[in-house]
Structure 1
């Protein structure tokens, strides 16, 4: 019975597009109680069947606008439930405010200051690698969480702080992943999903989840990456801004590509097409979060070319990559090295080992000055792919010079 009630609470909450924290507040309001006797963690326990609401059941029903009987009646879904981001929240609640607030009251000025620092870190990531930024990124994240947990603030300031913590985790997780610290990155991303959901910012939650899904797909956890990429898309819903939806679909395409197989390849191409359609809806009348400034048609072409490369369709990948690289900002050294690495692999697949070796040499030169595990891994992939052409003089020279890699 408890599991049935929990499933119904979750189903109805998601139909309202409420976070667990929002439902907790509505329950307390329905019960007419002050403070927070019910919090996100308690709602999570109910939904997971770990506890039964009992005395809170009437107030849950009131908050959700249904009868108690509806909450008790088992539901038989016609099809398997869609994946949800709730399954990827961290254990406990690392963002729960401390009971005794010893810090001074935090105002909107602190939110503005944090927003500027987050944006500065994001811009720094455009030109610096994870190994260079990991320490300042973690320092900023610890400071932001401490400000939220230990300070005293209004509900609106608290939500804005949570939103900025979410944005900070997205870039800090990306930096940690680029530095090769994948466990740390996963912990950061899960914290961010929790912060964004508590702030009821579904677009931001989807962006953070998509980044974690991307890491899963690239680190041998393809099945989890596929599930999470779809959860990010499903949870954000059709109301997400066009740029955000295009990015979610890009992540879905990559997750299907890395999962392998003919059917997944077809799903990847379908998602790429939908991503392009979503981005085409972006225009003067639409508004997207500032952190999606980099999502444009060029980025979609990059993902499309990578998918073609991974699917061993070099005749489609090579022209796309050359087009993108022709107009790319050379100051973004890491991205330039990464995109060139895909071109090198696609050229090898196209049976152009001499040209592939020349591009690979450029990748290795760029990667030598970048403290990025992503670029280091791509160098290893290129060299492994070129070994079948070891008798080609240009390739033999490259392998001899860089065999330590």
Structure 2
């Protein structure tokens, strides 16, 4: 019966769109108790069957709007549920407070300082690669988690601190992934998803989950990447800001593209169309989070062109990439190198090996000035594709020069 109660609690909570933290507060309110004798962790234990609510059952029933018997009733089997982000959270709770209320008191001034530091790190990532930023990013993340766990603060300040942990985890995870530290990046992303969930910020959790899904799709975990990309989109819901929804749909499109199933190409095209439609609604007065400053029509076109390249449709990919690259900020060397890498592959697919080799030379030049594992991986892909044209003089010269530079005598 305990497992039935747990499943029913989770089902009823998700029906209402509540987080575990929200249900905990509703239970305490129904019981008319002060403080937080029931918290998110306790609700999680009830739902997983690790603990039975017992004396809290009447208050749970009141909060969920059912009678006590309904909480223990066996439910008929249903269709497999759409995955939710709760399934991707880390084991345990790395954000649980330590000796809550005994540390130094902090207020919104501290939160504002953190916001400025986090945004500064985002801007630095625009022009620097993961290898250059990984140490300061991880240092800032550890300090912020420590601050949240050990300081004394109000509930509102605590919620804002959790948001900053989530935002910092998003950029730190991205930086770690760019530095080739994929396991570390996944741990960081999952920590951030947990923080965003506790802060009840669905837009932020969707952004984090989409970034992790993107990494999974690019590192041989296509099935997991697709499930998580869908979960991010579904969890955020239709009320997500336009830029956020466009980004989630872009991640879904890429995940379908990498999955490569019979119906995936059609699903990818559909998601790209929906992303464009979502972004077109950005002028309707719905404010998007600051961290989505980079999401615009150009970025959507980049993803569209990459999807076409991956699907070996160069006649669609090449014009899109040329148009985007024609107006791209040259100071963003890593992104320029990455986008050029897709152009090189698309040109090779279009049977234009000389032009592909010329673009590849630019990727090599830009890559020599950036410590990005992403760029190095894309260069490997380009050179592998160009080996099919090894008898073309321009390609042969490029391959020989690269061989000499990487294996000097």
Alignment TM class, shorter chain as reference:
over 0.9
Deviations 1:190-249 (A, max 9, x none): 000010010010010100100000011111111110010000001101110111001000
Alignment of 1:28-67 (within 5 A): 28-67=28-67
- CA separation in 2, counterparts of 1:46 and 1:224? 27
What is the Cα deviation at residue 78 of structure 1?
4.7
Provide the aligned C-alpha RMSD in A. 1.3
- 1:41–1:295 distance in 2 versus 1, CA, 3 Å: same
Task: Give the conservation status (yes or no) of the 8 Å contact 2:101–2:153.
Answer: no
- CA separation in 1, counterparts of 2:100 and 2:194? 22
**How many residue pairs end up in the alignment?**
405
What is the Cα deviation at residue 9 of structure 1?
1.4
Deviations 1:252-277 (A, max 9, x none): 00011111123111111111111111
1:120 is matched with which residue?
A: 120
- CA separation in 2, counterparts of 1:385 and 1:372? 20
What is the Cα deviation at residue 100 of structure 1?
5.0
Deviations 1:58-108 (A, max 9, x none): 111112222222322233365321110000111111111112544211100
- CA separation in 2, counterparts of 1:187 and 1:34? 35
Describe the SS at the equivalent of 2:263.
helix
1:333 is matched with which residue?
A: 333
- CA separation in 1, counterparts of 2:368 and 2:132? 14
- CA separation in 2, counterparts of 1:110 and 1:4? 44
TM-score by length of 2: 0.96
Alignment of 1:133-148 (within 5 A): 133-148=133-148
Q: Identify unmatched segments of 5+ residues in structure 2.
A: none
Q: Which moved more, 1:375-384 or 1:36-45?
A: 36-45
Describe the SS at the equivalent of 1:111.
helix
- CA separation in 2, counterparts of 1:69 and 1:82? 27
- CA separation in 1, counterparts of 2:378 and 2:399? 15
1:214 aligns with 2:214: yes
1:161 is matched with which residue?
A: 161
- CA separation in 2, counterparts of 1:78 and 1:238? 24
Task: Give the conservation status (yes or no) of the 8 Å contact 2:90–2:191.
Answer: yes
1:389 is matched with which residue?
A: 389
- CA separation in 2, counterparts of 1:342 and 1:76? 49
- CA separation in 1, counterparts of 2:400 and 2:269? 38
- CA separation in 2, counterparts of 1:100 and 1:279? 42
Alignment of 1:307-326 (within 5 A): 307-326=307-326
What is the Cα deviation at residue 51 of structure 1?
2.9
What is the Cα deviation at residue 16 of structure 1?
2.4
Describe the SS at the equivalent of 2:329.
coil
Describe the SS at the equivalent of 1:220.
coil
Q: Identify unmatched segments of 5+ residues in structure 1.
A: none
Q: Which moved more, 1:47-56 or 1:319-328?
A: 47-56
Deviations 1:142-191 (A, max 9, x none): 11111111000000000011111111100000001001111111111000
Describe the SS at the equivalent of 1:262.
coil
TM-score by length of 1: 0.97
